[in-house]
Amino acid sequence: MFDCIAVVGATGAVGTIIRELLEARMFPHRKIKLIASARSAGKTLCFAGREVIVEELDGAVFDGVDLAVSSTPDEVARDFIPEAVRRGCLVIDESGYWRMDPNVPLVIPEVNPEAVRLHQGIIASPNCSTTQMVQALKPLHDAARVRRAVVSTYQAVSGAGLAGTRDLIGGMRAALDGGGFQCECFPYPIASNCIPQIGSPKHRGYTSEEMKMVHETRKILNDDSIQICPTCVRVPVGNCHSESILVETERKLTAEEARELFAAAPGLVVLDDLDKKEYPMPIDCSGRDETFIGRIREDISCPNGLAFWCVSDNLRKGAATNAVQIAELLLKGKGRAGG
């Protein structure tokens, strides 16, 4: 048991779910701190039947904290996490800032739980679009070695925060009313639209979101030979990211073999019957902690190719749930500090 735990970014969309999960899963602790920006400091939130006052994020707030689960922007994580570690706090970080640091393990508990033992005070949780893809790739990679994956994402507005959700709702209302709407989050209207850019321009025409999928996948699976070709698209869906994934493996896998591998993998649920129109959809997967797989079929253009559809709640398994699962790994003793 940790004596004192903290949730950083406790009033945000992901932080709220982290609080709910810690309470629902009865994560053992004696004391909890809820930490947020100055704007939210002083608010009172209910946790496990008791009132907790939100504290402002600064270095001193981590005195006496054993474990913090943090969901903040990258620049905030960059500035406060080293200070939290210096004060003896172990941090599970949801931001993108520490993920590719060679001294920071990047962990999906169903995929590489052993990596938590390598931490030096920080454990990173992957990008939401990476998490669900790597969960799906893991059993295929173990069975037949993934050589290449082509992925197109259909990413919900909740991945852009509350402002993204407001853009979708406000834009839909304006379209129905025949009025105008000023976008708050996205560069173009998202209602009745798809935006084929998430993140800033990076390597050879790929965006930062797309390159996260490349680099994070290789780090989590510990295999730099895997080739990834991603296209990330924002779509007018409230919650849950969907992905169309084409995988080329070293050894051929039939659709039935893949279906069995997916069904046996922890955290994956197969929903795959085209005749009955059964396949994962965001409307059914929102609020769930599993990652759902469907439309499993052999690639008719490549001998060792396999195509499938993947849906996951980006706020839960793509963020909050994964971080809480890492905390639970630490409780089991699998995350004692390495060197």
Q: Encode pLDDT of 100-147 as tens digits.
A: 999 999 999 999 999 999 999 999 999 999 999 999 999 999 999 999
Q: By three-state DSSP, how is residue 173 classified?
A: helix
Say what the pTM is. 0.94
**C-alpha span between 8 and 91 (Å, rounded):** 10
- The pLDDT, as a whole number, for residue 131 is 98
182-215 pLDDT per residue, tens? 999 999 999 999 999 999 999 999 999 999 999 9
Contact 186, 160 (CB under 8 A): yes
Handedness of CA 322, 40, 80, 206 (dihedral sign): positive
**C-alpha span between 178 and 173 (Å, rounded):** 8
**332: pLDDT confidence band, cut at 50, 70 and 90?**
confident
- The pLDDT, as a whole number, for residue 10 is 97
Which sequence positions are flagged as catalytic?
A: 128, 241
Instruction: Give domain 129-314's CATH superfamily.
Output: Dihydrodipicolinate Reductase; domain 2 (3.30.360.10)
168-184 pLDDT per residue, tens? 999 999 999 988 899 99
Contact 185, 102 (CB under 8 A): no
**C-alpha span between 14 and 314 (Å, rounded):** 10
Helices within 108-158 (DSSP H only) = 128-144
301: left (phi over 0), alpha (psi -120 to 50) or beta: alpha
- The pLDDT, as a whole number, for residue 126 is 98
Q: Range(s) for CATH 3.40.50.720 in the chain? A: 2-126+319-331
- The pLDDT, as a whole number, for residue 1 is 85
**C-alpha span between 144 and 70 (Å, rounded):** 36
Length of the chain in terms of residues written: 339
Q: Which residues are CB-neighbours of 128 under 8 A, at least 6 positions away?
A: 155, 159, 241, 312, 314, 315, 318, 319
| Biggest CA-to-CA distance, the chain | 61
Q: Range(s) for CATH 3.30.360.10 in the chain? A: 129-314
- The pLDDT, as a whole number, for residue 145 is 98
Could you tell me whether strands 67-70 and 44-47 are parallel, antiparallel, or unpaired per DSSP bridges?
unpaired
Q: Which residues are CB-neighbours of 211 under 8 A, at least 6 positions away?
A: 202, 203
276-316 pLDDT per residue, tens? 999 999 999 999 999 999 999 999 999 999 999 999 999 99
**C-alpha span between 94 and 81 (Å, rounded):** 11
Residue 263 has pLDDT above 80, yes or no: yes
Average pLDDT over residues 2-27: 96
Reading the block at residue 174, the tokens are 């304006």
| CATH code linked to domain 2-126+319-331 | 3.40.50.720
Average pLDDT score over the chain: 96
